[in-house]
A and B are shown apart, each in its own frame.
Chain A
Amino acid sequence: AQKVTQAQTEISVVEKEDVTLDCVYETRDTTYYLFWYKQPPSGELVFLIRRNSFDEQNEISGRYSWNFQKSTSSFNFTITASQVVDSAVYFCALSEYNDMRFGAGTRLTVKP
């Protein structure tokens, strides 16, 4: 069965620090998709990125970057120069077929 583990329950950093959120997944399928979602204090879920299993290129979007490594079944998310507005719960998710399995989430607090 597919499974997503986000071992870091809570992380607290000071503004401008870099922070990496870890995501480890388990799957027996060769074709799958990985996602990151952000849930700010207001409660909505915001899609951040999708990556398929055949594309191991790292991606950078502004201060956000993602490192996908099939060898270690990890899809880690780094925020560079964190800001208070980055405070949120971040979810990693894995999709094999029609469903999506989410990790338990990592709560990131960025202090001014």
Chain B
Amino acid sequence: DAGITQSPRHKVTETGTPVTLRCHQTENHRYMYWYRQDPGHGLRLIHYSYGVKDTDKGEVSDGYSVSRSKTEDFLLTLESATSSQTSVYFCAISEGYRGNEQFFGPGTRLTVL
């Protein structure tokens, strides 16, 4: 199994509070991704990173920001959480781009009240 951890695994927060989710990998893979999973939508890409300090937006990036200061860590921040951001968040990594399989972390269940 790819060495990917996510923290926290579960979080309950209130509307308007900032939230940061962390993804940590031990595989030294260049690419890292954040997805959210919602019923009826599968997984949707929020942001991805193609190297340290190099990030780009995905399909559903509004309300989210990311940072990657080290190869192994990719942070997802909700500056001011809303109830629509209640979801399960998955981090993924891949060795290369365009066609490389992505390996997923265990997920973080976030509830915004």
Q: Interface of A with B (CB < 8 Å)? A: 4, 6, 31, 33, 35, 37, 43-45, 47, 50, 52, 91, 93, 95-105
Contact = CB atoms under 8 A, between A and B. Distances in A.
Nearest to B102: A100
A43 B99 CA distance: 23
B103 interface: yes
Contacts of A103: 42
B48 interface: yes
A50 B101 contact: yes
Contacts of A99: 33, 45, 48, 58-59
Interface in B36-87: 40-45, 48, 50, 56, 58-59
Interface centre among B50, B56, B99, B104 (most CB of A within 10 A): B99
Interface in B81-113: 88, 90, 92, 97-99, 101-104, 106-107
Nearest to A50: B101
